[in-house]
Chain A
Amino acid sequence: MTEPRLSVSGLSSFYGGFQALFDVSFSIAPGAVLALIGANGAGKTTLLKTLAGVLRPPARSIHHNGACLASRTPAETTRAGVAVVPEGRRLFASLSVEENLLIGAQVKRPGPWTLEAVYALFPALVQRRHHLGPQLSGGQQQMVAIGRALMANPDLLLLDELSLGLAPVVIEEIYRAFRQIVGPGVSAILVEQDINRALSVSDQFLCLRAGKVVLSGDSRTADQAAIIDAYFGVHA
């Protein structure tokens, strides 16, 4: 059996005195995509922040390629191959598109992603390479946020709310690119409000409610009714 890309066991996470995650466990194989679904406040973003090292994970609960993430800073986590596309994109506002991408490359991990590769994936950015983030459309900003994460050549991508505030046609474009990105070398954890879309692009899913895993399984054989019950906490 190959070592999982990421394994999480018995993870609890706190915001100050408030416990946001309770005993969360799951694992992702290399190249697999995990969809994280759940209502607002279910703990999805907290889970991503903990995995990214922004919230300090408790000892021995998270292993990335077999190595414990507990004592790492966000920068060390990124250097180890975990890159983030944050909710709301959060581009560096005073940096151009190209400079935003180059910040992503700061960790100097070797791999296939270069400026040229990102521009090939998102040709719309080529014309805009010297524009500042706020001058771009929402979809283009999302492309920069994805490109910035890819420039770190991650083996695990954490994507928070890719489709938030975007037009349907733009969402299609973003997910077309997403399918090209994930593959043998790159696993992903995806937070997505649209359950159907989340299931169609992922291999496994994990449904959180009030900080606990209430349902998980294979995305292809997922039972819609069971997911909706788990999502809203209605007991059928």
Chain B
Amino acid sequence: MRLPITDVFALLLLLIGITGVILGPFHYNKKLLEDDGKVFVVTVHQWGFEPKKIVVKRGDKITLLFKSNDVTHGIYSTTFGINEIVYPGKVTKVSFIANRSGTFVFRCIVYCGEFNPPFGEGHWSMKFIVEVVE
């Protein structure tokens, strides 16, 4: 079967367009984070962090992208001087140099409900662990 020239052109447009639309955003996103050192995407949810723990090397530049998919959360670490609100749908970007080794706990600083109030579960039990190794 012979394709008319307009069909060849249209098919080409379609292929380029669809590839661009599907792969373009991922490519752009990758480029955007090139200078940020080690990037970790951390999802904060009721009630926990995903991943729960990351392991990094001492001296690394760390960028954490906190995202919430449900309600407003927060992220708090005295060690690295982090005190941010994580709004749903917004990316909260936190960068720091892991200049101390050890295990550090990040907490949620915005009350986000609890399952069974008197037992102190839910919000109060949320922990994100950064382990800095030599």
A joins B in a complex: no
